[in-house]
């Protein structure tokens, strides 16, 4: 019956399948924000209802947990959460963030995600990133993690997620998130390959010259020519204020600008860094853009 939707065809043919095959189909149909299709499939026969009893109970629990999470972001129902373009979560626990990560594949409309003021969740962002599967959050263009304890472990987990193809349209705000040199060194390669990255805000983090070098001027492999791609080619705004960048870091920035890196950069923020006035002046002279100290 080709005119039937996929789920209806699955329901219609359920009786011809083995128990294991029916259970696999049920799991594939499960969507915690829209469980109706899976429930309808499980109702096709008493045998199937029995086979999927445990899975249906788990789906119900997951649906209720997702609804509760949505309410923390002001969404009155899972339908509102599923259709949300903007999601702003406050006071989220580590478990909340892990659950949000599992929802990444069923939030196709979400464009702006802001997570801040976490509730005693030192590993929350790490768990969020680890739960994001390939292709998750495909429409998100703005991820804001401000005053959240990301840390080096969270930055590394986010790097791994980006390498899986998560958040392909990302712009990123990681302000006051306790990211040091190890975290930025881990995150930098993934950031450099983001195809749509236009702004990157990293102010008030404890990284310094090592992390900065990994971001704007990583050395090429021995014997290799300088790379011509993966160089933040669309980046327009970069905020590095209130970090541990010194004169050496300013020299790195100046050298990167001289080499043609950061070709579209329009604004560079360097308020409150440790570099001397002379080093800052060198950056300003080399930059054909606004440099704000």
- Please report whether residue 121 resides in a domain: no
| Angle at 167 (CA atoms; ends 190, 28), nearest 5 degrees | 125
- Return the residue matching tokens 């699955």: 10
Mean pLDDT value of segment 93-112: 91
3 state DSSP class of 86? strand
| Model pLDDT, residue 227 | 53
pLDDT in tens, 182-218: 999 999 999 998 989 999 999 999 999 999 999 997 6
Cα–Cα dist 123/65, whole Å: 20
Question: Are 152 and 182 contacting, i.e. CB atoms less than 8 angstroms apart?
Answer: yes
pLDDT in tens, 119-148: 656 788 999 999 998 889 999 999 999 888
- Please report whether residue 277 resides in a domain: yes
Residue range(s) defining the domain that contains residue 23: 1-71
- Please report whether residue 220 resides in a domain: yes
| Model pLDDT, residue 246 | 98
Q: Which of 39, 54, 71 is the last residue of a domain?
A: 71
pLDDT in tens, 43-88: 888 888 888 888 889 889 989 999 999 888 888 899 999 999 998 8
Q: Is the pLDDT of residue 19 over 70?
A: no
Q: Which of 71, 93, 113 is the last residue of a domain?
A: 71
Mean pLDDT value of segment 262-268: 91
pLDDT in tens, 216-254: 976 555 565 555 445 788 999 999 999 999 999 999 999
- Please report whether residue 283 resides in a domain: yes
Beta-carbon contacts of residue 138 (< 8 Å; ≥ 6 apart): 108, 168, 169
Q: Is the pLDDT of residue 25 over 60?
A: yes
Q: pLDDT band at residue 273, thresholds of 50, 70 and 90?
A: very high
| Model pLDDT, residue 4 | 37
**CATH number where 284 lies:** 3.80.10.10
Cα–Cα dist 207/26, whole Å: 47
| Model pLDDT, residue 8 | 47
- Please report whether residue 186 resides in a domain: yes
- Please report whether residue 105 resides in a domain: no
- Please report whether residue 257 resides in a domain: yes
HSE value, Cβ hemisphere, 13 Å, CA-based, for 187:
25
Cα–Cα dist 231/46, whole Å: 58
Number of domains forming the structure of the chain = 2
Handedness of CA 180, 181, 187, 192 (dihedral sign): positive
| Model pLDDT, residue 219 | 55
Q: pLDDT band at residue 274, thresholds of 50, 70 and 90?
A: very high
Q: Which of 52, 71, 90 is the last residue of a domain?
A: 71
Q: Is the pLDDT of residue 256 over 70?
A: yes
pLDDT in tens, 145-188: 988 889 999 999 999 999 998 998 999 999 999 999 999 999 99
| Model pLDDT, residue 1 | 36
| Model pLDDT, residue 2 | 40
């Amino acid at each position: 019956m080709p005119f039937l939707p996929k789920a209806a065809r699955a329901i219609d043919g359920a009786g011809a399948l083995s128990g294991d095959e029916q259970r696999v189909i049920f799991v594939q149909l499960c969507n915690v924000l829209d469980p109706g299709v899976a429930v309808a499939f499980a109702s096709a026969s008493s045998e199937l209802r029995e086979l999927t009893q445990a899975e249906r109970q788990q789906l119900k629990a997951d649906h209720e947990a997702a609804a509760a999470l949505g309410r923390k972001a002001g969404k009155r129902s899972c339908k509102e959460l599923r259709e949300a373009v903007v999601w702003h979560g406050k006071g989220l626990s580590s478990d909340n963030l892990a659950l949000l990560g599992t929802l990444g594949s069923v939030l196709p409309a979400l464009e702006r995600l802001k997570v801040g003021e976490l509730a005693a969740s030192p590993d929350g962002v790490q768990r969020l990133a680890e739960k994001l599967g390939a292709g998750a959050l495909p429409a998100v263009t703005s991820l804001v993690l401000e005053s959240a304890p990301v840390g080096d472990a969270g930055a590394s987990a986010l790097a791994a997620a980006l390498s899986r193809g998560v958040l392909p349209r990302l712009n990123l705000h990681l302000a006051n998130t306790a990211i040091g040199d190890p975290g930025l060194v881990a995150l930098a390669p993934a950031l450099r390959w983001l195809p749509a990255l236009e702004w990157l805000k990293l102010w008030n983090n404890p990284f310094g010259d090592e992390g900065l070098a990994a971001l704007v001027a990583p050395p090429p492999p021995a014997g290799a020519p300088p790379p011509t791609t993966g160089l933040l080619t669309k980046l327009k705004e970069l905020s590095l204020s209130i970090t541990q960048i010194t004169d050496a870091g300013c020299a790195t920035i100046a050298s990167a600008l001289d080499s043609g890196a950061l070709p579209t950069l329009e604004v560079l923020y360097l308020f409150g860094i440790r570099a001397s006035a002379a080093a800052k002046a060198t950056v300003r002279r080399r930059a054909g853009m606004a440099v704000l100290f």
